[in-house]
Homo-oligomer: A and B are copies of this chain.
Amino acid sequence: MKIALVGGTGDIGTGFAVRWGQKHEIIIGSRNVDKARESAAAVLQLLGAAADVRGTDNAGAVATADVVVLCVPYEHLAFVTADLKDSYKSQLVISPVVPMIYNGKFFLYNPPAEGSAALQTRRLLPKGVRLVSAFHTICAAALQDIERMMKGDAFICGDEAEAIDIVMELAGEIKSLRPLKAGPLAASSLVESLTPFLLNVARKNKIKDAGIAVVSERKLSEQMAKIIKN
């Protein structure tokens, strides 16, 4: 697949490029083309020349891609959606965007009038575009380390089964990352708000490179009995 990472020169964009660049064609997008090319060169140095990673402007990245990941802070959401409307047609767009603020004491979820960044993005993008929200709680530092096994889960919201399946598969290509469905796009606020929660918990308890996992509290014996029965 051709994967565009718009605003992809930062930590999270580099992380996806490194993880998906061995198998897919990666187009790192940026408003600063030189920066995008530098990022691509750095990823290629890591993955080797056989990988297909290049840098260009955001519009160009979107226009040629099958899958677009919005690797931008919430404040830049309009720049990479509404402002690039003409570049979008029928891509699958993945939004890990989280609208949040720091009030001087703790992080708070601060959604737009639509209820979530995902629902706002739905309104900003052409109708033919498929939208899935995912990867809000992935630790960017760990993602960039290609060999790192992930302990956290990837939570995915969307309305189209086929689009969700593609994102589940992309998530599953990242070592030991478990993709979990978290409901339709309208449930995205519950997943976006995990990020300020996680930042508060990480800071208050000094947890480095934090992620979130859903666990099962079933007894091992119960789990074994179920496996044997199946």
Contacts and interface: CB of A to CB of B under 8 A. Distances in A.
Interface of A: 105-106, 108-109, 139, 141-142, 145, 148, 150-152, 155, 180-184, 186-187, 189-191, 193-194, 196-198, 200-202, 204-205, 207-219
Given A191-B197, A201-B155, A219 B106 contact: no
A99 to B, nearest CB: 13
Q: Chain A interface mostly helix, strand, loop or mixed? A: mixed
Nearest to A217: B142
A151 B212 contact: no
Given A105-B183, A148-B219, A208-B216, 16 more contacts: A105-B184, A106-B183, A106-B184, A139-B217, A151-B215, A181-B205, A182-B200, A182-B201, A183-B201, A187-B197, A190-B197, A190-B200, A191-B197, A201-B214, A212-B213, A213-B214
B197 A182 contact: yes
Given A182-B200, A207-B214, A214-B207, A219 B151 contact: no
B187 A205 contact: no
